[in-house]
Structure 1
Amino acid sequence: MELMFLNSLPDKQEYYELYQSTGWDPEGRWTSTLLQDSLINSWYTLSVVRDGRLAASGRIVSDGVIQCVICDVIVKPDYQGLGIGTLVMEHLISHCKAKGIRWIQLSAASGKAAFYERFGFVPRAADAPGMSLFL
């Protein structure tokens, strides 16, 4: 399995299809243009290509100095279970280390906490929960 890891924006439609494969947007709020804009405005974007097609992606939002948030780590369903998600996370964490970022946060999708714990991530304490507001 030959993979190419690219620090470049994926094809707009391919990324839209990859994102929609997650089930994170059941109402269809995120258009291909909005999703591409989210990539453009990210601090770092990783695209993983296999056989000329987008197989996985991940991105980082950061102040570039102290902290960052790893977002939207996605592996196409056909390629899950092959270790690609692990490679994506290793690459993103390595990029943070290389840039001096030491505080990495993320939100795990339902059922995925154990995957991120393998990299040293720990759940926030119950008295200091992560919070969100969807507008």
Structure 2
Amino acid sequence: MAEEHIQLVEHFPDADAYCRLRAQAGMSPKTLEAARKGLPNTLYGVSLTRDNEVIGMGRIIGDGGCFYTVVDIAVAPAYQGRGLGKRIMNALDAWLRQNAEPSAYVTLVADGEARHLYAKYGFVETAPASVNMEYIVAPRLPD
């Protein structure tokens, strides 16, 4: 499996491939309906393909001016550890540097050791000054 057979394309996967790759990479699942609604709002995205199969992805979302968030960086397990995450980040970083305003705030959530990769692009940990906070919309149980 030579790396030269893996292509980076400036197009984000469709909803089916997106959901499949998130599951393969051990990321939180997204419903097909959520993916179909959300993916068209991608500002910029890339896919890594091998033999017409999506094996990696990454995208940027945001308001197109003040705020950008790097999300959905994923590489199928069989292809991890080969520098493909860096290849995805190179493309996303290049797009941001060409298209985002100098005052833009760019964020991401780094899982585990991935923070070392992101640090190479200038991302810094902000805790304790600020911390990532989140919640997942789900039906609430009565109090």
TM-score of Structure 1 vs Structure 2, range by shorter chain: 0.7 to 0.9
Output the aligned Cα RMSD. Answer: 1.8
* Amino acid in structure 1 at the alignment position of 2:106: I
TM-score by length of 2: 0.81
Matches of 2:8 and 2:33, distance apart in 1:
23
* Deviation at residue 39 of structure 1 after TM alignment: 1.6
Q: Which residue of 2 aligns with 1:77?
A: 77
**Paired residues of 2:12 and 2:59 also in contact (CA < 8 A):** no
* Amino acid in structure 2 at the alignment position of 1:36: R
Question: 3-state DSSP class of the match of 1:82?
Answer: coil
TM-score by length of 1: 0.85
Structure 1 residue runs of 4 or more that deviate by more than 6 Å after TM superposition: none
Question: 3-state DSSP class of the match of 2:57?
Answer: strand
* Deviation at residue 126 of structure 1 after TM alignment: 0.3
Instruction: Report matched runs for 1:1-135 at 5 Å.
Output: 1=3, 2-25=5-28, 28=29, 30-101=30-101, 102-135=104-137
Instruction: Give the unaligned 5+ runs of structure 1.
Output: none
* Deviation at residue 3 of structure 1 after TM alignment: 2.7
Matches of 1:114 and 1:134, distance apart in 2:
26
Q: Give the fraction of aligned pairs with identical amino acids, expressed as a percent.
A: 27
Instruction: Give the unaligned 5+ runs of structure 2.
Output: 138-143
Give per-residue Cα distances to partners, 1:20-58, cap 9 Å, x unaligned: 123232xx5x22232233221221221111121101001
Of residues 64-73 and 42-51 in structure 1, the stretch that sits farther from structure 2 once superposed is 42-51
**Paired residues of 2:59 and 2:72 also in contact (CA < 8 A):** yes
